[in-house]
Amino acid sequence: MISTYPKVSGKFLIDGKWLEAENKKEVINPANTQEVVGEVALCTKEHVDKAITSAVTAFESWSQSDIHERAEKMKVAAGAIEKIVEENVNLLVRENGKILVEAKKDLLRCVDIMREASDELLTWWQPESLDGKQKVQIRRRPRGVTAVISPWNSPMILTFKRVIPAILTGNTVIVKPATSCPLTIMIFLEKVASYFPNGVLNVVTGSGSVIGDALCKDSSVRTVAFVGSTETGKEIMKASASNVKNIFMELGGNDAAIILEDAKLDDELITKLRFGILRAAGQVCSAVKRVYVHESRYEELVEKLRKKFQYIRIGSGIQPDVEMGPLNNQSQYEYVKGLISRAKDGGAEVLTGGIKIDPEGWNDGYFIEPTIITGVNQNSEIVQAEQFGPVIPILSFKTNEEALKLANDSHFGLRASVWTENEKKAIAFADQLEAGAVFINNHTVFQDLHLDFPGLKESGISRETRHCSLEFFADTYGFAN
């Protein structure tokens, strides 16, 4: 019943007011598509225009606020957010498909982002004097209205990593959450917004083509931060070109894991590789999506990974013993199923595993078993595509030079990993791999929230950050005599 929906269901936020939309769309549980979790408002261009006006007006005063005031407000908001984490874990699981432990970790990391970025602001914002005959200072100032267009795969942390530094650096923000799972992020943003002046944080939901196009084409919006597919990223670049916005984009990935001849294929390493492939059911931009293994270790790796996949417990993330949930939406589900089917039709061997926690309810959700694909080549669709699901093609190589060439043979360049007992060899690979970051004997994320590294090629437009992404949302200028 509608009375059980979250209070933000079907609403959007402009100038401190939560408004009801005339048109709405259901938000469903990907683990049980018969369950409606809530509704998402389908905002119009007129709603976007009002949100931009609100943000422009609020920027006049918020941009002049003291950095200590901004940091203190954010820390108080972080405390309030921390208190509602536990009660919203289940909602995130139900609308997104994550398992409980992943969902809770994401929500707690949002609190960490708020606190760490607030502390970082107080030192990073200070003017920096340069040595030399001329007096030169590097100073910073807020840029203006910021649009944050966030994805469905990790809606919480990927939104907070952009919204929070944007607000702290004195900007006003308009957030466009993903339509398939907007509810938890809206509850959290509602709480954050209540600690700041009206108009500093606005939320509009609905069609990406309507909302995104309006935000990108309006000259009052000075920055667009987008996380999502490379195809959509290209459209955002086109729409933003007429007014030359600052654009920061984390796009697709087709990460390669290279298993060298001397790799120690023990249980610890295989477990790390499994996690790098299947975290969030493979719906992670920086998940392993291709494995290249030395020909002498090929059969050993395939067999060990197959056995590890066999014991993955798959089902609704609400169940505490589940290790992998469903795909988030029907479109992605059908895409991944199609990739697997076409690979099989083309002669590939398809190895599936996993334990179905609820076999009777399996077809009610967007579930796909962990899948290993062998018998394919570099040009196969399943190898060249970003699968974004629990499927992994495994190919062999003869020489290290061949492995490097195969790994770099992609339009993407987000992350990569080298698995070897020789760190010098891994560094030699890393120096030549076309990826924004390279891991050794792991394929993971940077634990330090101050750090991030951009993807190369078609995996994004950004730059290295050591300061919680604060530098993405402020203008740096020189002051000299």
**Could you say which architecture CATH assigns to the domain 2-251+459-480?**
3-Layer(aba) Sandwich (3.40)
- DSSP labels, 226-280: EES-HHHHHHHHHHHGGGT-EEEEE----EEEEE-TT---SHHHHHHHHHHHHGG
Determine contact, residues 373/343, Cβ cutoff 8 Å: yes
Closest CA to 195 of 381, 41, 62: 62
Determine contact, residues 202/47, Cβ cutoff 8 Å: no
> What's the longest Cα–Cα distance across the chain?
77
The conformation of residue 219, written as its DSSP 8-state character, comes to T
Rg (CA), the chain: 23
140: left (phi over 0), alpha (psi -120 to 50) or beta: beta
Q: Residue 169 corresponds to which tokens in the numbers above? A: 């650096």
pLDDT at 2 exceeding the cut of 60: no
pLDDT above 70 covers what percent of the chain? 99
| β-strand pairing of 313-314 with 355-356 | parallel
Closest CA to 322 of 354, 351, 352: 354
Determine contact, residues 455/438, Cβ cutoff 8 Å: no
Residue for token pair 């408004």: 19
**Could you say which architecture CATH assigns to the domain 255-440?**
3-Layer(aba) Sandwich (3.40)
Beta bridge partners of 442: none
Catalytic one of 250, 323, 386, 458: 250
- Write the pLDDT tens digit of every residue in 266-285: 999 999 999 999 999 999 99
User: Model's pTM, two decimal places?
Assistant: 0.97
Other beta carbons less than 10 A from residue 451's beta carbon: 15
CATH 3.40.309.10 domain position(s) in the chain? 255-440
- DSSP labels, 360-382: GGGGGTT----EEEES--TTSHH
13: left (phi over 0), alpha (psi -120 to 50) or beta: beta
Helix (H, G, I), strand (E, B) or coil at 209: helix
Determine contact, residues 465/124, Cβ cutoff 8 Å: no
Q: Residue 91 corresponds to which tokens in the numbers above? A: 């909602």
pLDDT of residue 1: 42
- Write the pLDDT tens digit of every residue in 16-61: 999 999 999 999 999 999 999 999 999 999 999 999 999 999 999 9
Residue for token pair 């790994």: 407
Query: Using CA atoms, how far apart are residues 171 and 246, in angstroms rounded to an integer?
Result: 13
- Write the pLDDT tens digit of every residue in 239-260: 999 999 999 999 999 999 999 9
Helix (H) or strand (E) segment spanning residue 456: strand 456-457
Residue 250 among the catalytic residues: yes
- Write the pLDDT tens digit of every residue in 209-223: 999 999 999 999 999
Compute CA 192 distance to the chain's CA centroid, rounded to the nearest angstrom. Answer: 20
Query: Using CA atoms, how far apart are residues 140 and 224, in angstroms rounded to an integer?
Result: 19
pLDDT of residue 3: 56
Q: Residue 184 corresponds to which tokens in the numbers above? A: 């938890």
pLDDT above 90 covers what percent of the chain? 98
pLDDT of residue 4: 86
Beta bridge partners of 290: 256
Query: Using CA atoms, how far apart are residues 200 and 437, in angstroms rounded to an integer?
Result: 34
Query: Using CA atoms, how far apart are residues 96 and 27, in angstroms rounded to an integer?
Result: 10
CATH 3.40.605.10 domain position(s) in the chain? 2-251+459-480
Beta bridge partners of 41: 24
